[in-house]
Chain A
Amino acid sequence: MEILDYNLSSLALNIGLAVFGMSIVLLVITTAVHWHKDRRKTQIMTFDRINEPLVMSYLDGKTPQIQVIKSMENDPLEAMQLLMDIHKKLPPTEQSRLLHLFAALPHIDKEISALDSPFTKRRLEAAERLGYLRNEASAEALLNALEDGVLAVRYCAARSLAAHGNTNFIEPTLLAFETEPDIEWLRLVEIVLDYGTPAIPKLLAIMESPSGKYSNNILNVAIRALGTFKEPRAVKPLIRLLDHSEFSIRLNAARALGNIGDPSAISPVAELSHDPDWSVRNKAIQAIGKLHAESQIPVLIEALADPSWQVRYSAAQSLYSLGQPGIEQLNEIMNHTQDLSAHDMCCQVVGEHDLHDIKNNPS
């Protein structure tokens, strides 16, 4: 006797056999994948063991380029990967010699046409590799790749263009991401920073352009990068931007002015200590500390009573960074204030610095 219809239980058996058969096929595929990976790993290890010393010897001027290229020609993909890995480890002064090797690789030109591949991964790899092939054809292909349908490819192309170092690429790069909601604008700052200080004139031009020409995101990128470069020519336009209606512009302008350290920014920055947005107040208070603005000690003391924990913390840190006059004020507040949160914050910051001073000055 059977609880299920005979046909149903037979069907269950047949399905079970079919699924088990598929499992065996899967097992064969999985084993093949494992075998392939294992073999590839061994091949790469052998390739690197032979060719890495050759490349290093080429960089020392002991082995001719043609010999290195000939040795690597049997595995062009791994050759590119090896050169990219070595490039990361080298100091910037030695990196340019390695680029000659890239340019001499037999299949490197294929990377340009690969930017039109239907496969996303292939386009991404090509965009990455072309950062090391610094010629006009490569740059042009990368500029076209800024319009790729996939954000990751566009971003990779932008980084590779930055590696090329031609500052004329800055504006098209920023414009390519202007309306992209799915990328943090800080990633664009990283790209601009990759260009180094030659980017400064372009960034100043963006910041001083008529209102509305560039989006707030692009303006923020320029402000943040100029602050990181500590560019004194940016001080005046940055001070003008402290009144901007967009809070992120005010915040980044205050941060940049603090980084640059020009004393003419002290008073305008201090005015932001009453900004309605706590994050702007926080950056202004931090900037006062970086500007070593002893004249603003009353502003910092007032900020110790700010409703935001972060602003209070920054105020105490800024007071400490002013040296003796600020530390005296912190001690005074710790001993006499009625404001419990200001008292706690001063104790915390003084304690943190005392602890880390033990490391620097054990006596």
Chain B
Amino acid sequence: MSAILQIFVISILVYFVSLSVINLVLIFLGAMQLRKYNNQIADSDLDHIANSRLSLQISLIIPAYNEANIIVGAVENALKLNYPTYEVIVVDDGSTDETLTLLKHRFNIQTLERHKSSSIETNEIHAVYESPDHPKLVVISKKNGHRADAINAGVALSRYPLLCIIDADCVIETDGLQHMARPFLFDPNLAAAAGVIRPSNGLVIENGVIKKRGLPKTWLGMNQEVEYARSFQWARIGMNRLNSMLCISGALLLIKKSVFEETGGPWPEAITDDIEYTIRLNGFLFDRKKKRNLRLAFIPDAVSYTEVPEKFNCYLSQRNRWQRGTLQAIFHNWKMFFNPRYGATSFLGLPYLFIFEAMAPVVEFTAYVLAVFMLVSGITTLEEILKLVFLAYATSVFFTLIAILITETSRLSSSSWKDYGKMILAVFIDNFGWHQIRVFTSVWATIQFIFLGRRDLGSPIARTKRPSLIQP
């Protein structure tokens, strides 16, 4: 009995050490990439992009379902972006609230006959609207499908060669599209790019423009602020260096329309369409048989701010959905696992996503159960458990602080000493409860996905009402 338990404990330790070593490698790779990126960006690049009539035109697509609380503010923000030529396509995915009515009143949109420019299949489109007051704005009203179906409808009616996909709760800085488009303007082989995502809960927005950055007011929000920093400041950029960035958030994706059409767009049945689509996109780009010679970029200074849940039940629901979505995306693309045709994506990216992201909560939960069992059975001592817990805690704080250090050297640095102090405090207390809640939620979601066959999208996040600040 004791020998079996010992094997379990050592396996978990090996898992933990492997994860830490991989994280160190990713930090090193991410730091190299960041340094290269920062060294090669000139201050004038963005001005040139903003003023050039030759900058690539962009269709900004915003899928929206029951977003009446925030939709007007989101569109105002999108219309304020400083970019030479772009259109904003809002896709009302059969909302049952006042999303469409609010858009009609605020932007004076009127029906217009507009037909699909691509062959991507979507649910029925009821009407297309444009506004004489806002020539950049297009609104599509369609029968409800999932978020992926709404994105596909937006793409089918888009006009421009680059697509930028964001969520309705996202806010972008006025120069956000310049940052996103910059690598595409220089690199003809770049197919898609992802940016950094940060919580929007503490932002001060005036007339659709971000005036001040701040932090969420609740500790649940702060916990997510730290988590987003850790997730985006080095892990993704390091994974991208290995052609293994398999999770591009739906909150900010820029992709060539031709590539989007060839891949067929996101899968409407996916629980988290962004993760599933990213895996498939990687398979498309790095398919050795096709020799497409295309690239995927992570842009560390392009930021999209998204609303994170500050109510506990919404938070749990979101985490549950993410965990089930990750598992579904992995299983849906299982043929890519260890398939030489997809190179590093299949040997590094997918195994990492499965073993160290999707399965991490299960391993950690097992460790907790074992610890309690062994303690109660007298197989181990509290002192021994505390030593191991301390090692895990110290490692977690170390990796998070690296993310904070990178953040502080970037343009996302804390705007005041008070915010900086709050952030540091959040780093040290994240592991006392919040982290464990995430773990337990993910384990429950795994059980629901594997044993109960749960595939629904869960309950939507209740949005904080964001008032329109532009007077009609």
Residue ranges of A at the interface with B (Cβ–Cβ < 8 Å): 1-4, 9-10, 12-13, 15-17, 19-20, 22-23, 26-27, 29-31, 33-34, 37-38, 81, 84, 88, 119-121, 124-125, 127-128, 150-152, 155-156, 159, 181-184, 186-187, 189-190, 309-310, 313, 341, 344-345, 347-348, 351-352, 355-356, 358-359
- Of all chain B residues, the one with the shortest Cβ separation from A88 is B47
Q: Among A2, A12, A33, which residue has its beta carbon within 8 angstroms of that of B405?
A: A33
Q: Among A121, A190, A348, which residue has its beta carbon within 8 angstroms of that of B48?
A: A190
In the complex, A355 Cα to B112 Cα: how many Å? 8
Q: Which residues of A contact B43 (CB under 8 A)?
A: 81, 84, 128
Q: Among A38, A128, A187, which residue has its beta carbon within 8 angstroms of that of B185?
A: A187
Offer 21 A-B interface pairs, CB within 8 angstroms, sorted by A.
Answer: A1-B379, A4-B6, A12-B391, A16-B391, A26-B401, A29-B405, A33-B409, A34-B417, A37-B408, A84-B43, A121-B38, A127-B42, A151-B40, A156-B44, A187-B185, A310-B117, A341-B115, A344-B113, A348-B113, A352-B130, A359-B135
Most A CB within 10 A of own CB, among B39, B414, B417: B39
Q: Among B117, B118, B394, B402, which residue has its beta carbon within 8 angstroms of that of A20?
A: B394
Given A1-B381, A19-B398: A120 and B40 within 8 A (CB)?
yes
B374 at the interface (CB under 8 A from A): yes
A272 CB to nearest chain B CB (Å) = 21
In the complex, A355 Cα to B404 Cα: how many Å? 50
B231 CB to nearest chain A CB (Å) = 18
The A-B contact count (CB < 8 A) is 160
Q: Among B40, B395, B424, which residue has its beta carbon within 8 angstroms of that of A19?
A: B395
Q: Is the CB of B384 within 8 A of A3?
A: yes
In the complex, A309 Cα to B114 Cα: how many Å? 12
Sample of 6 more A-B contacts, CB < 8 Å, known A34-B414, A183-B186, A187-B185: A26-B401, A30-B408, A124-B40, A190-B54, A313-B117, A344-B115
B132 at the interface (CB under 8 A from A): yes
B207 at the interface (CB under 8 A from A): no
Chain B interface residue number, banded: 35 or more
A255 CB to nearest chain B CB (Å) = 12
In the complex, A23 Cα to B424 Cα: how many Å? 11
Q: Is the CB of A34 within 8 A of B381?
A: no
Q: Which residues of A contact B132 (CB under 8 A)?
A: 355-356, 358-359
In the complex, A181 Cα to B430 Cα: how many Å? 47
B390 at the interface (CB under 8 A from A): yes
Q: Is the CB of B112 within 8 A of A348?
A: yes
Q: Among B6, B48, B185, which residue has its beta carbon within 8 angstroms of that of A159?
A: B48
In the complex, A29 Cα to B409 Cα: how many Å? 11
In the complex, A355 Cα to B398 Cα: how many Å? 58
Q: Is the CB of A120 within 8 A of B39?
A: yes
